[in-house]
C-alpha cells in the first residue's frame, strides 16, 4: 500500500489450528494456533503452518529440553565420545574429534542438532560449551599428546570475550594450546570476518 507517497509492503505469518469446540477450549485452540504461527515465522516470510501431531510432538520435546537445560540432571546424563582420525599412510592415530551425546532418562537420545539450537536460544549455551571444554581438556590430558577437535557454537564464538575465555580455561586446565582444535562453521567466519580475524590472530 502507498503511505505518504512511500510504497509499504506488508506480509503475514499465519498459524492454523483445528479442533472440536465440544472438547477443545478456545484457549487450547488459540495456543495451538500460536505455536503454528511461530513455526511459520521461523520458516519463511509470508508462510502458514497448520498445527498437527508432528508439530505437537516437536514442541513438547523442545519444552522438555528447555526444562532440563541448566539443571544438574542434564550434566549427569551428558557424555563426550571421541571419533579417531587415522593417518591413511601410516595407520597411526593422528587426533580425535569430540562429539557431544545426551541420553536422557526422561526424553531418550537427544542429538546435538536438536540440543544446541535450543541451548543457544534459551541462553544456556555458555554453560554447555564450558562443560564440553572441561571434558575435552580432561581427554587431552589422558590421551598424552594426541590432539582433540571440538565444535564451537557460533553464539559462543560471537561473545566479545571468546578468546580470553578459551585461554583462561586452557591455563586453568594446564593443557597445551596446540593440542586443542576449535571447529567453527564457515558461515560464522564469513558473517563476522573482523571478529574472526581477531580471534584467529
Model confidence pLDDT, tens digit, residues 73-88: 778 899 999 999 998 8
Judge contact between 173 and 142, C-beta under 8 A.
no
Q: What are phi and psi of 180, to 5 degrees?
A: -110, 125
For residues 117 and 21, give the distance between their C-alpha atoms in angstroms, rounded to a whole number.
Answer: 35
Q: How many CB atoms are located within 10 Å of the residue 13 CB? A: 18
Cell (9 digits) for 14: 499465519
Judge contact between 77 and 102, C-beta under 8 A.
yes
Model confidence pLDDT, tens digit, residues 120-175: 888 899 999 999 999 999 999 999 889 999 999 988 988 889 999 999 999 999 99
Instruction: Report pLDDT for 10.
Output: 81
Model confidence pLDDT, tens digit, residues 182-196: 998 765 555 555 655
Amino acid at each position: 500500500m502507498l503511505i505518504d507517497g512511500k510504497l509499504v509492503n506488508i506480509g503475514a505469518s499465519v498459524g492454523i489450528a483445528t479442533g472440536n469446540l465440544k472438547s477443545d477450549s478456545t484457549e487450547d485452540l488459540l495456543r495451538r494456533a500460536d505455536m503454528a504461527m511461530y513455526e511459520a515465522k521461523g520458516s519463511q516470510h509470508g508462510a502458514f503452518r497448520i498445527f498437527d501431531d508432528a508439530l505437537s510432538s516437536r514442541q513438547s520435546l523442545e519444552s522438555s529440553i528447555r526444562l532440563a537445560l541448566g539443571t544438574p540432571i542434564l550434566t549427569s546424563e551428558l557424555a563426550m565420545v571421541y571419533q579417531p582420525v587415522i593417518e591413511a599412510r601410516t595407520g597411526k592415530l593422528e587426533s580425535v574429534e569430540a562429539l557431544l551425546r545426551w541420553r536422557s532418562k526422561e526424553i531418550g537420545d537427544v542429538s546435538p542438532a536438536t540440543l544446541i539450537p535450543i541451548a543457544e536460544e534459551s541462553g544456556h549455551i555458555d554453560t554447555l560449551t564450558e562443560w564440553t571444554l572441561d571434558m575435552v581438556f580432561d581427554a587431552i590430558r589422558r590421551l598424552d599428546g594426541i590432539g582433540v577437535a571440538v565444535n564451537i557454537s557460533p553464539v559462543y564464538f560471537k561473545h566479545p570475550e571468546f578468546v580470553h575465555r578459551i585461554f583462561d580455561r586452557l591455563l586453568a586446565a594446564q593443557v597445551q594450546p596446540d593440542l586443542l582444535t576449535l571447529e567453527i562453521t564457515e558461515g560464522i567466519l564469513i558473517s563476522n570476518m573482523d571478529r574472526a580475524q581477531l580471534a584467529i590472530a
